[in-house]
């Protein structure tokens, strides 16, 4: 493991307010930074705003504000957005910061001193959206492939950087360092760009046309081209040339970007560094796009974005972070929407994780005086222990390989294994027999220990809820190394009597979200994907714990017309379930019946009564409900499969 780690996001243009595309890269970087910190690595994460150039200058004018005032206002919105999403960046750099401007001037002078700058007339097609001259590769039917606009013909005097001179070096560097650009598809894309001339890079704009920029040190009539200016933020933020952070962190620099800014990072930036005599960065990690319901990249100008701040207001920052990391495959485009966020949240966080936490806490408080017991080794527990102890290693190598969704899936598979263990060991049955106290204690200890490990490994995605899971079990904080050791939850730990419900189930999705949920719907060729995504896997079905139960009591819930409070016997356990059956059954008609209950549903309080499950009923097609019963009499508690 490298001693240090420096991770960066792109710095965001302030002509737009923060949206989910920006949030995605920022969350990814924050996830990696938090993971590395938990691994004990010295880690630095930096984000910021890109504030110069034509595009920003125009946006300020359109808003009727001076450029600096406008940049201050929008830059602050980015800072606020990151606070709301639980981003723990160490620094926030702005290209209008004096520390940044100084370094830009320094590097320009170094490149000029190396003889790599000359003046010439430029004649070409310019896309203001991209803030660069276009080549044939950048155009589709004469339009910019990203902005769908026709570029402007421009002819002007510019200073040029001899980028082409460094093409052979860059080619060799990429071939000799297979992990320099990741994933591989993007590396190949860059190698193919380098197969042809890359030309020289225009690095200035006449000040009279673009007054909002950093003046060239040797010619005040020209300002620095916005990309040449912006890329330098990565070294300016850590105090290039002689800052201590630069010496320590630059060799371990990893940039995270979206695929639209690949060329600037993979071609402009390494050649600029080379010309300035600076060692190049370690990794360029390239993410795909989040796609909207129209099958196109989400962007404000296309009007197909989901607002991450509205989402985090509704479901919490942790839910949004978890969803974006789990639902996307890093490097590939992924469709996202509010409906699928809610599905993912309910299945993983509310059901698998939150429900297990609530159940183990309830049994510890009810039967073991809220004290974590000492476990006693038992053969049944070996698979859970082994999987728990091996999990951190697996997760760490997936994070290193940028497989963030797979890393989270590993943890959730372990949580599902814990749920199965809990259900198979039936601790509520053990609790009835004083002779089996020791076994009860061991089973509950193992579930707590498993949740401790899972909560540490989920913490980079769930920076608030990860620690809260442990607080609910009376536990503190741990490193990744401590998550790879089984048995660090201290017997004797007191379980707090009160703990907030961490992931309450979301039953209502706002109407507008329905359209976003089926993000593939608008693209006809993806229709099949939509219908397949509605199917569940056998594993999904296996997560529902269906049992036969006997109704041993029934009474109306006071002040309601529809609800009955049922007492059920599920094996040896008694449960209360509130069911909407009062209009279909009189209480006495249900007593003695065998019914089917969803036994691992998160408890919910209905009209002041805690409902610990749900019984299944069929619609009779005439507005009535008929409860489902086994055809012949089966033992209560029998598993339905």
Residues that bind ligand MSP (CB under 6 A): 10-13, 21-22, 24-25, 50, 230-231, 233, 257-258, 260-261, 289-290, 297-299
44 vs 261, beta carbon nearer ligand MSP: 261
- Answer yes or no: 588 catalytic: no
Shortest separation between residue 384's beta carbon and ligand MSP, angstroms: 38
Quickly list H helices, 297-436: 308-315, 317-327, 338-344, 356-367, 382-400, 404-425, 427-430
Q: Is the dihedral of CA 235, 238, 239, 243 positive or negative?
A: negative
Catalytic residue among 100, 101, 255, 297: 297
24 vs 345, beta carbon nearer ligand MSP: 24
Could you give the strand order of the β-sheet that contains 546-556, starting from the edge strand earlier in sequence?
573-579, 564-570, 546-556, 594-598, 614-615
Which tokens go with 73?
Answer: 């206002």
- Answer yes or no: 387 catalytic: no
- Answer yes or no: 5 catalytic: no
75 vs 600, beta carbon nearer ligand MSP: 75
Shortest separation between residue 355's beta carbon and ligand MSP, angstroms: 32
CB-CB contact of 611 with 590 (8 Å): no
Q: Which residue is nearest to ligand MSP (CB)?
A: 258
Shortest separation between residue 337's beta carbon and ligand MSP, angstroms: 13
Tokens 């527990």 correspond to 381
25 vs 600, beta carbon nearer ligand MSP: 25
310 vs 382, beta carbon nearer ligand MSP: 310
Shortest separation between residue 465's beta carbon and ligand MSP, angstroms: 25
Helix (H, G, I), strand (E, B), or coil: what is residue 637?
Answer: coil
Shortest separation between residue 273's beta carbon and ligand MSP, angstroms: 13
Q: How far apart are CA 165 and CA 198, in angstroms?
A: 9
Catalytic residue among 22, 100, 565, 584: 22
What angle do the packed helices 356-367 and 437-458 form, to 10 degrees? 140
Which tokens go with 122?
Answer: 């430029």
- Sequence-separated (6 or more) residues with CB below 8 Å from residue 507: none
Any bridge partners for residue 172, and if so which? Answer: none
Quickly list H helices, 18-53: 20-38
Catalytic residue among 300, 367, 378, 593: 300
- Answer yes or no: 265 catalytic: no
62 vs 620, beta carbon nearer ligand MSP: 62
Shortest separation between residue 524's beta carbon and ligand MSP, angstroms: 21
Tell me the Cα Rg of the chain.
Answer: 29
Shortest separation between residue 133's beta carbon and ligand MSP, angstroms: 16
Catalytic residue among 19, 55, 222, 265: 19
Shortest separation between residue 252's beta carbon and ligand MSP, angstroms: 18
300 vs 505, beta carbon nearer ligand MSP: 300
- Answer yes or no: 559 catalytic: no
Any bridge partners for residue 161, and if so which? Answer: 117, 201
Any bridge partners for residue 48, and if so which? Answer: 93
Q: How far apart are CA 139 and CA 151, in angstroms?
A: 9
Tokens 């990860």 correspond to 466
Catalytic residue among 5, 39, 127, 387: 127
Catalytic residue among 5, 130, 326, 387: 130
Question: What's the angle, vertex CA 35, arms to CA 31 and CA 37, rounded to 5?
Answer: 120
Task: Work out the number of other CB atoms within 10 angstroms of the CB of residue 370.
Answer: 15
- Answer yes or no: 584 catalytic: no
Catalytic residue among 147, 165, 283, 367: 147
Catalytic residue among 39, 71, 144, 387: 144
Which tokens go with 22?
Answer: 């920006």
Q: How far apart are CA 250 and CA 234, in angstroms?
A: 9
Task: Work out the number of other CB atoms within 10 angstroms of the CB of residue 173.
Answer: 15
Q: Which residues are catalytic?
A: 19, 22, 127, 130, 144, 147, 297, 300
């Amino acid at each position: 493991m490298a001693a240090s780690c420096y991770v960066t996001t792109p710095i965001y243009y302030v002509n737009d307010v923060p949206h989910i595309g920006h949030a995605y890269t920022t969350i990814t970087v924050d996830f990696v930074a938090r993971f590395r910190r938990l691994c004990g690595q010295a880690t630095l994460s930096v984000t910021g705003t890109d504030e110069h150039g034509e595009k920003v200058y125009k946006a300020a004018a359109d808003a009727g504000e001076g450029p600096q005032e406008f940049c201050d206002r929008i830059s602050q919105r980015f800072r606020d957005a990151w606070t709301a999403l639980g981003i723990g960046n160490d620094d926030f750099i702005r290209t209008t910061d004096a520390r940044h401007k100084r370094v830009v001037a320094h590097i320009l002078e170094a490149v000029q001193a190396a003889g790599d700058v000359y003046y010439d007339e430029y004649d070409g097609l310019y896309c203001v959206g991209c803030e660069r001259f276009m080549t044939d590769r950048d155009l589709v039917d004469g339009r910019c492939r990203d902005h769908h606009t026709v570029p402007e013909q421009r002819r002007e005097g510019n200073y040029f950087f001899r980028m082409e001179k460094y093409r052979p070096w860059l080619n060799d560097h990429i071939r000799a360092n297979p992990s320099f650009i990741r994933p591989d598809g993007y590396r190949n894309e860059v190698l193919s760009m380098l197969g042809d001339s890359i030309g020289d890079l225009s690095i200035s704009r006449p000040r009279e046309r673009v007054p909002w920029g950093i003046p060239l040190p040797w010619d005040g009539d020209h300002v620095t081209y916005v990309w040449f200016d912006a890329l330098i933020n990565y070294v300016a933020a850590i105090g290039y040339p002689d800052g201590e952070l630069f010496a320590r962190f630059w060799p371990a620099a990893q940039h995270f970007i979206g695929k639209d800014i690949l060329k600037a990072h993979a071609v402009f930036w390494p050649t600029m560094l080379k010309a300035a005599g600076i060692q190049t960065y370690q990794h360029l990690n390239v993410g795909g796009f989040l796609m909207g319901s129209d099958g196109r990249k989400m962007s404000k100008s296309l009007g197909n974005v989901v607002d991450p701040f509205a989402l985090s207001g509704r479901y919490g920052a942790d839910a949004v972070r978890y969803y974006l990391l789990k639902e996307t495959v890093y490097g590939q485009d992924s469709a996202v929407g509010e409906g699928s966020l809610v599905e993912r949240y309910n299945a993983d966080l509310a059901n698998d994780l939150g429900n297990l936490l609530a159940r183990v806490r309830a049994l510890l408080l009810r039967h073991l005086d809220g004290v974590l017991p000492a476990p006693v080794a038992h053969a049944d527990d070996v698979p859970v222990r082994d999987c728990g102890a091996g999990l951190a290693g697996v997760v760490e190598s997936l994070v290193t390989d940028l497989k963030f969704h797979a890393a989270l899936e590993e943890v959730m598979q372990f949580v599902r294994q814990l749920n199965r263990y809990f259900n198979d060991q039936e601790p509520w049955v053990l609790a009835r027999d004083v002779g089996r106290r020791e076994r009860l204690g061991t089973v509950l200890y193992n579930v707590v220990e498993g949740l401790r490990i899972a909560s540490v490994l989920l913490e980079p995605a769930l920076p608030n809820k990860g620690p809260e899971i442990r607080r609910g079990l009376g536990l503190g904080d741990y490193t990744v190394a401590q998550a790879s050791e089984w048995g660090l939850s201290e017997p004797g730990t007191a379980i707090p009597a009160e703990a907030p419900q961490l992931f309450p189930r979301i039953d209502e999705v706002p109407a507008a979200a329905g359209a976003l949920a089926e993000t593939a719907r608008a693209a006809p060729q993806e229709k099949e994907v939509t219908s397949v995504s509605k199917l569940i896997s056998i594993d999904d079905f296996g997560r529902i714990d269906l049992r036969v139960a006997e109704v041993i009591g029934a009474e109306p819930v006071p002040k309601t017309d529809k609800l009955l409070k049922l007492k059920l016997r599920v094996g040896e356990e008694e449960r209360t379930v509130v069911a909407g059956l009062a209009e279909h059954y009189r209480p006495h008609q249900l007593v003695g019946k065998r019914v089917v209950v969803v036994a691992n549903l998160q408890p919910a309080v209905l009209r002041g009564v805690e409902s610990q499950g749900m019984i299944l009923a069929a619609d009779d097609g005439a507005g009535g409900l008929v409860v489902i019963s086994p055809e012949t009499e089966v033992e209560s508690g029998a598993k339905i499969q």
